[in-house]
Structure 1
Amino acid sequence: MEMLHYSLKRVFIILFLLIFSQACQEKSFNPQDPADVFARASEPYEDGLYDIALQKLGEFRSRFPYSKHTTQAELMMANCHYELGNYQEAAFAYEQFVKLHPRHPKVDFALYRVGESYWIEAPEDIDREQDFTQKALTEWETLVNRFPNSQYSTDAKSKIKLGKKRIADSQVFVMNFYCKQERFHSCAYKALIILDKYKDFTDIRKQALKQAARSFAKLANQKAEDPESDKNVYVRSMSLKELQDKAATFKRLSEAS
């Protein structure tokens, strides 16, 4: 009985201390103090409640746009979007952070996250547009150039290589499609772009050389059949010999590669 009385007494003391502590915290909170409001707004963020944190931090930013805590709140809001899977919103928020605070010590992180956000949204399928992949590469290249020693640059470099290969494969897909459709001027044009931009990928370079040789040979035949044709830019602007020379050159390079 005495032990039960002691236990109940202890529980009451603990409850009293908790209530008293909470009351003190409420009493010490100043809704006009940016530091207090920021601390309160940060609580759901720290607990991983990113949807609530996004709202609270946004309210803080609106109320105290010139507070020293506002910059941190903006970065946290970008992180909330990222954690919630709102990647396009996250990319925009990180981009705004870099634009507004170019000297902030976490600009490298923000640049990395812009790239990550676009990268996640980018399709892996090479038969789809790779605009988001290119945007990711642009941000990561900026990161590597501005902050070569950043901890985020190492990962960015490896992903830049993957991204370039993905875009190159996508360009090859389009080139081959044009050739299958016998749109040889378009096929030749794509092949030349690939040879200029993606020559570091040996297998892709070889495919582009073969298609360039084939396309210019076909264009030469069109020119020979109709010397006055203005069917496409190559037939219109190049002589028969120039087209034949192009075809021969690319064939030679293809066989040597």
Structure 2
Amino acid sequence: MSFVKVICMLLLLSLVSACSWFGGDKSIPDIPEQVIYDDAMSALDSQNFALAIEKFQLLEARYPFGRFSEQAQLELIYAYFRNNEPAAARAAADRFIRLHTNHDNIDYAYYLKGLTSFEEDRSFLARFLPLDETQRDPGAALDSFESFSILLNRYPDSEYAPDAQRRMQYLKNRLAIYEIHVASYYMKREAWIAAANRGRYVVENLQETPAVPDALAIMAEAYSKIGMHDLAENALDVLRLNFPDYVIRPFSPQRFDLLYTATFGLLGNIEPAVPARPVSPNRTTLDQPPAEEAAPRRSLLNRMTFGTLGSDGREEAEAQPAQ
């Protein structure tokens, strides 16, 4: 029995010594707070953001209540932002706002949070290709708009307020156009009430944007489709009063006869939409566009060459004087 105990003790000692041989008991040296902070700022200045994040995290872990702790948390938000880590940047900003509600630079935390979501909304491909970002999900744009809005409401005199206001106007236009895309989709699906609600949201909450006239036109057409003619006329009156040069066009789907569909537009005609209600002579109906716009007369050569040659009737329609 004693021999077994001796063997076990020798094995235990060998394992402990092996751990020491391979660096198992290696400890991180005690680095002063000033040195860690200086190293982190040097890495930040040299745009080595991954190293800067590592140093700031080490500083916060070693000296959570040190004299550089608050500034390190702010710099960490910026380092995450520049290192293309939007989720970590927003989390760091939220943590700083929660822990330091009365900090002198809390407006900077709100600005970085909004800027992170703003840049996240602009995809990599959208920066180099002509993609329509207004048709994508606006989740990041909404987060950015909310952060900038809090910054302007709570700290209107902040040095970051002017830039935040300019970005908010851009985001407001982007969100309004997105709502029009959704409303147009509902119109094509003949979901009139949903389309009208989207248009009303733009008119009530996203004023002074280029999408307002389209929203009013969608409201008028959708209300006309469901028989709410008073609301349709009110939307038309507002549209004509505020946007007299706006050209009304139908948002509901155009209907084609069977011959037109089967021959890919070579033969047949576009079936005119049936207006839901007659309108006054001096008012353009939303349900039926003018004949020149709805079904221009195409030449036979244009039809036989799938529109590559010949006249499609648009030149004649544009040459005619407006009535």
TM superposition score category, shorter chain reference:
0.7 to 0.9
- For the residue of structure 2 that corresponds to 1:129, the secondary structure is coil
Q: Which residue of 2 aligns with 1:246?
A: 231
Structure 1 position 177, deviation (Å): 1.3
Give the conservation status (yes or no) of the 8 Å contact 1:121–1:132.
Answer: yes
**Residue in structure 2 matching 1:182, options 175, 187, 190:** 190
Structure 1 position 249, deviation (Å): 1.9
Unaligned runs of 5+ in 2: 1-28, 123-131, 243-323
Counterparts of 1:156 and 1:55 in 2: how far apart (Å)?
Answer: 29
Structure 1 position 40, deviation (Å): 4.5
Give the conservation status (yes or no) of the 8 Å contact 1:31–1:37.
Answer: no
What TM-score, normalized to structure 1? Answer: 0.73
Give the conservation status (yes or no) of the 8 Å contact 2:73–2:96.
Answer: yes
How many aligned positions are there? 205
Q: Which residue of 2 aligns with 1:89?
A: 88
Counterparts of 2:211 and 2:137 in 1: how far apart (Å)?
Answer: 18
Structure 1 position 106, deviation (Å): 1.6
Q: Which residue of 1 aligns with 2:153?
A: 145
Structure 1 position 66, deviation (Å): 1.6
Q: Which residue of 1 aligns with 2:57?
A: 58
Counterparts of 1:134 and 1:158 in 2: how far apart (Å)?
Answer: 15
Against the structure 1 CA distance between its residues 52 and 139, is the aligned structure 2 distance closer, same or farther, given a 3 Å change threshold? same
Give the conservation status (yes or no) of the 8 Å contact 1:144–1:156.
Answer: yes
- Name the amino acid aligned to 2:226: L
**Residue in structure 2 matching 1:211, options 208, 218, 225:** 218
Structure 1 position 184, deviation (Å): 0.8
Deviation by residue 1:44-94 (Cα, 9 ceiling, x = unmatched): 334432211211221221122121221122112212111212223212212
- Name the amino acid aligned to 1:206: P
Q: More helix by proportion, 1 or 2?
A: 1
Counterparts of 1:112 and 1:194 in 2: how far apart (Å)?
Answer: 26
Higher relative contact order (CA 8 A, sep 6+): 1
- Name the amino acid aligned to 2:81: Y
Deviation by residue 1:76-117 (Cα, 9 ceiling, x = unmatched): 221211121222321221222122112222212121111110
Is the deviation greater in 34-43 or in 160-169? 34-43
Identical columns (%)? 20
- For the residue of structure 2 that corresponds to 1:85, the secondary structure is coil
- Name the amino acid aligned to 2:241: A
Q: Which residue of 2 aligns with 1:24?
A: none
What TM-score, normalized to structure 2? Answer: 0.59
Counterparts of 1:148 and 1:74 in 2: how far apart (Å)?
Answer: 24
Alignment of 1:19-168 (within 5 A): 31=30, 33-123=32-122, 125-168=133-176
Q: Which residue of 2 aligns with 1:196?
A: 204
Against the structure 1 CA distance between its residues 180 and 33, is the aligned structure 2 distance closer, same or farther, given a 3 Å change threshold? same
Larger radius of gyration: 2
- For the residue of structure 1 that corresponds to 2:108, the secondary structure is helix
Counterparts of 1:73 and 1:64 in 2: how far apart (Å)?
Answer: 10
Deviation by residue 1:107-135 (Cα, 9 ceiling, x = unmatched): 12121111110000114611111111111
- Name the amino acid aligned to 2:158: S
- Name the amino acid aligned to 2:238: L
Counterparts of 1:54 and 1:141 in 2: how far apart (Å)?
Answer: 28
Give the conservation status (yes or no) of the 8 Å contact 1:126–1:166.
Answer: yes
